[in-house]
Amino acid sequence: MSEFQKDFLWGGATSSSQFEGGYNEGGRGLSHMDYIRRVEKSDKEKVFPINVTPEMFEEHKQKEDEYNFAFRRGSDFYHHYKEDIALLGEMGFKTFRMSIAWSRLFPTGLEEEPCEDGVKFYHNVFKECHKYGIEPLVTMIHYDIPVYLTETLNGWESPKVIDYFVHYTKFLIDEYKDEVKYWITFNEINMIMNSSYLGGGLFVEKSDKPEETCIHQALHHQLIASALTVNYFREKAPKCQVGNMIARLQNYPYTCKPADVLATQQQNQFNYFPTDIQVKGYYPNSILNYYRKKGIEIEWYTNYEEILKEGTVDFAAISYYHTAAISADPDKAEPIGAFIRNLENPYIDITGWGWGIDPTGLRISLNDMNDRYGIPIFIVENGLAARDILTENLEVHDTYRIDYMRAHLQAIKEAIGDGCSVMGYTSWGCIDLVSCGDCQMTKRYGFIYVDADDEGNGTYKRYRKDSFHWYKKVIETNGQEL
């Protein structure tokens, strides 16, 4: 039947670095995200903000007071959490996805004991959630790593970071297991292959290894850290449910030429492989073969096969934004790192940021994953970015967002009707926050408008958009009224 189950987890999602702010309060240490600088569009052709190089990093440190480090401000959830959670409660949220800032608890990553203020802050946030019947869904790391680990160990390139991370996650489990039932270890673990600074807090330029080897080595460390964390859940917090997460990129063959279909299959295998490992507990042959062909030699972690086998997750989470078409034609198939360039699909519209709008792709993806993994799927990010306008009456008429979400929720409903097991949906940036790729406040996703601009000017007051009232109804009717 095409219906959302009664306990469907409706909600919205955020991340600490993009939303929390308070970067220099409560003893928080800096994270590598705090060194990503907002650059104007005209400069963006030359500099992509999230791909920080060692030279850029040094420059950013020199100009700490001059540059616009928007992630440091986020949307100031640190000071607004009570009213923010009250608004989510008003919408009837069943769950709220947020992440914990590692450096708020362990400022450099190396401390034995956590920072008390940080520990209290998250207790307060969870308490506030429960006041409104909201189950927190916590991501243990949404990219942000203490910058000290980037500077001293080259981030996830070093296996030592596994120990520091597991020390941190064991603390999270011991401290919060009774307040948080749903957890995700790593946000979009596959993003390290797109941006190694963002996803791995590392500089490929500083590694002795070839670029791709360095990235896959760091990813291996993340997969181990995730599995060791899952193992600890099993031991100490069996009532908690833990998931992995990838940025799901559903690819289509550009034509029905077998070569295009094969190239697409390979891209999809590449997109899925971290989830294959985290759900099935072993590296698939397709990726091992890819390593052999490319001469990528991984220094395997001791007992890695056993660790991965024991550290499999309860649910598979995805972000889903867009789809792309793949061609094997050498004139069209320009390689970008390990990927082939995505081509525009003439059958779908695009957002103001060029992302293909494709609700059917979500239905396809859910079916695909359901067949492949057979465990519940959680859509923990999806949404439409737009330049919303706050009217003089302090309203935002975002019908475009409602249309987008209605179509995606309809697709989920149909996928459920196809037999897919979907446990919840948390739309991205439910309260406006700083965009990740663009380091920009005015690329908005929320049901709630935050009065701030790209430079951090504004009152940071919150206003309900039209989509707020629409989503409230959706939740109230458990998706009967879309």
Give me the residues that bind ligand BG6 (CB under 6 A), please: 15, 18, 187-188, 247, 319, 381, 385, 428, 435-438, 443
Shortest Cβ 224–ligand BG6 spacing (Å):
21
Q: Nearer Cβ to ligand BG6, position 365 or 435?
A: 435
Shortest Cβ 18–ligand BG6 spacing (Å):
6
Shortest Cβ 74–ligand BG6 spacing (Å):
11
Residue number with the shortest CB distance to ligand BG6?
437
Q: Nearer Cβ to ligand BG6, position 34 or 188?
A: 188
**Catalytic residue check, 111:** no
Q: What is the 3-state secondary structure (H, E, C) of the chain?
A: CCCCCCCCEEEEECCHHHHCCCCCCCCCCCEHHHHCCCCCHHHHCCCCCCCCCHHHHHHHHHCCCCCCCHHHHCCCHHHHHHHHHHHHHHHCCCEEEEECCHHHHCCCCCCCCCCHHHHHHHHHHHHHHHHCCCEEEEEEECCCCEHHHHHHHCHHHCCHHHHHHHHHHHHHHHHHCCCCCEEEEECCHHHHHCCHHHHHCCCHHHCCCCHHHHHHHHHHHHHHHHHHHHHHHHHHCCCCEEEEEEEEEEEEECCCCHHHHHHHHHHHHHHHHHHHHHHHCCCCHHHHHHHHHHCCCCCCCCCHHHHHHHCCCCEEEEEEEEEEEECCCCCCCCEECCEECCECCCCCEECCCCCEECHHHHHHHHHHHHHHHCCCEEEEECCCCECCCCCCCCCCCCHHHHHHHHHHHHHHHHHHHHCCCEEEEEEECCECCCCCCCCCCCCECCCEEECCCCCCCCCCCEEECHHHHHHHHHHHCCCCCC
Shortest Cβ 349–ligand BG6 spacing (Å):
17
Catalytic residue among 128, 135, 212, 381: 381
Shortest Cβ 13–ligand BG6 spacing (Å):
8
Catalytic residue among 58, 188, 211, 455: 188
Shortest Cβ 226–ligand BG6 spacing (Å):
16
**Catalytic residue check, 381:** yes
Q: Nearer Cβ to ligand BG6, position 15 or 222?
A: 15
Q: Nearer Cβ to ligand BG6, position 80 or 443?
A: 443
Q: Nearer Cβ to ligand BG6, position 253 or 429?
A: 429
Q: Nearer Cβ to ligand BG6, position 213 or 323?
A: 323
Residues catalogued as catalytic: 188, 381
